[in-house]
Amino acid sequence: MSGSNVETDAVIPVTRPSMPDFDTYVEMIRPLWESRHLSNRGENVRALEEELEQRLHVPHVSLLTNGHLALETAIDVLGLTGEVITTPFTFASTTHALIRKQITPVFCDINPVDYTIDVNKIEALITERTTAILPVHVYGNVCDVEAIEQLAKRHGLRVLYDAAHAFGVRHDGRDVSTFGDLTMFSFHATKVFHTIEGGALTFRDARYVEAIHQAVNFGITGPESVESVGGNAKMNEFQAAMGRCNLPRIDADIEKRKRLVERYDTRLGNASFLRLNLRNERTESNYAYYPVLVTKGRAARDDMMAYLAQHGILARKYFYPLVTDFSCYAFDASVPNATYVSDRVITLPLYPDMTMEMVDRICDVILEGGNER
Ligand SMILES: *Cc1c(COP(=O)(O)O)cnc(C)c1O
């Protein structure tokens, strides 16, 4: 199968940022040489907040320098303390944010269907020290938002969603940005929508607007007043300008992702050694990732990863290891479903610039080599 065609034999990365036309970006940043207003809620930040509020149909969007600081800021603004119930099947950032804010993460297992937090196991973990639930819409799969809202109401808990994977995802027609007390988004270069680095908090309750403004700018409220001990998490104008160039392109990008995902589904749907990501009919996906489980187990998965790499296909074990197994932590959590998924998962290459031929090449390699694994 290995021809000499450089195009088809080139290494395929797991992801690749979507970029606007160079001249479009230059035009967007040109006024900054005149205004010299480079940060501190400049024109692009304010405009992008409004554009995102419209795109996501959410009353309030606050932009921050990255998604991780959006999580830490949200923890401050919500006044969380004690224990927070969260998922072990996530990126380091979710748990690190809690620990860095002196909060004890309490790990709830995931459900084996869509890999989000298992809502049937949350209640047993609530103690008098619990102040919030921090679930993750992992791969853009929407958590059981109704059950989480009911639990939170019943026990007087806050809900902070990590929606780093879920930009533009809708559930029963409602955007994920509108659930919970606050929802965090990451606009890192590798995410579906990006501002190079960047992040946001979205919410319905107007009282968070001022609290977030203070928290991201040292608690400064005026030329001679500092009212709280805030940090620095401001988005700058160059980031926001990139976002303003990318936002009009987002629907086309998601459509391209969708077509690639449908091709993967068609090609891999009958592979007995794989389990694909189930799609929920109530969810309008953003096709952010293409996770598959190599059902036989970790050795077979690691074999498959090595075999893909030999063929120039750079997949990723996303998420492995589990947060609870990080060497910086020694959490003794019993999370069998998360362990099962983490031991078997591979996310395959997926980004808007990818061609159908690339998907076919990846599927050819998997189907040719997969059965022996
Ligand atoms: C990317 C990501 C983050 C962190 O966002 P940054 O913008 O990179 O700081 C947090 N949680 C999850 C699930 C992520 O994928």
- Are residues 181 and 114 part of one domain? yes
Percent of the chain clearing pLDDT 90 (strictly above) = 95
Same domain membership, residue 256 and residue 175: no
Do 226 and 256 reside in the same domain of the chain? no
Tell me what the mean pLDDT of segment 43-59 comes to. 98
- Picking from 229, 237, 303, the residue whose alpha carbon sits closest to that of residue 33 is 237
For the cut 80, the answer to whether the pLDDT of residue 6 exceeds it is no
Locus of tokens 């926001």: 240
For residue 69, the ligand 1 atom closest to its alpha carbon is: 9
Checking if the pLDDT of 261 tops 60, the result is yes
83-123 confidence digits (pLDDT tens): 999 999 999 999 999 999 999 999 999 999 999 999 999 99
Q: Is the domain of 226 the same as that of 131?
A: yes
| Ligand 1 binding site (Cβ under 6 Å of any ligand atom) | 66-68, 90-91, 93-94, 136, 162, 164-165, 186, 188, 199
Asked, for residue 84, whether it belongs to a domain, the answer is yes
- Quote the pLDDT of residue 371: 60
Which structural domain, as residue segments, surrounds residue 170? Answer: 22-247
pLDDT at 8 over 60: no
Residues 191 and 241 placed together within one structural domain of the fold: yes
Residue 16 lies in a domain: no
Q: What is the CATH number of the domain that holds 230?
A: 3.40.640.10
Domain boundary among 215, 230, 247: 247
Same domain, 49 and 192: yes
CA of 66 to the centre of ligand 1 (A): 8
Burial class of 371 by CB neighbour count within 10 A (0 to 12, 13 to 18, 19+): exposed
Does the annotation mark 121 as catalytic?
Answer: no
- Which range is least confidently modeled, 35-39, 303-307, 328-332? 328-332
Is the domain of 231 the same as that of 258?
A: no
Residue 372 has pLDDT above 60, yes or no: no
- Note whether residue 166 is domain-resident: yes
Which residues sit opposite 202 in a β-bridge? 61, 183
Same domain, 153 and 280: no
For residue 235, pLDDT beyond 70: yes
Q: Which value, to the nearest 10 degrees, does the dihedral of the CA atoms of residues 234, 237, 243, 244 take?
A: 130
Q: Exposure pattern of 70-82 as b/e (b: 16+ CB <10 Å)?
A: bbbbbbbbbebee
Q: How confident is the model at residue 330 (pLDDT cuts 50, 70, 90)?
A: confident
pLDDT for the residue numbered 1: 43
- Active-site residue identified among 153, 191, 234, 258: 191
User: Which of the listed residues 247, 266, 297 is the one where a domain comes to its end?
Assistant: 247
Question: Residue 4: inside a domain, yes or no?
Answer: no
pLDDT tens column, 152-175: 999 999 999 999 999 999 999 999
3 has pLDDT over 90:
no
Q: Give domain status of residue 15, yes or no.
A: no
User: Do 209 and 317 belong together in one domain?
Assistant: no
Query: Do residues 73 and 214 lie in contact, with contact meaning Cβ atoms separated by under 8 Å?
Result: no
How many domains are contained in the chain? Answer: 2
160 lies in the same domain as 268: no
Give the per-residue pLDDT at 111.
96
Final residue belonging to a domain, choices 247, 266, 301:
247
Minimum CA distance residue for ligand 1 atom 6? 67
- The reply to whether 302 falls in a domain is yes
pLDDT at 53 over 50: yes
Is residue 38 in some structural domain?
yes
Same domain, 235 and 305: no
| Residues 280-324 pLDDT 10s | 899 999 999 999 999 999 999 999 999 999 999 999 999 999 999
Q: What is the pLDDT of residue 279?
A: 85
- Residue 10 counted as domain residue: no
Q: Quick one: which atom of ligand 1 is closest to the CA of 188?
A: 7
The CATH number linked to 338 is 3.90.1150.10
pLDDT of residue 276: 97
Residue 240's pLDDT is: 98
The average pLDDT across 26-37 equals 98
Pairing of strands 274-276, 290-294: antiparallel
Phi, psi of 202 (to 5 degrees): -120, 150
Q: Does one domain contain both 187 and 309? A: no
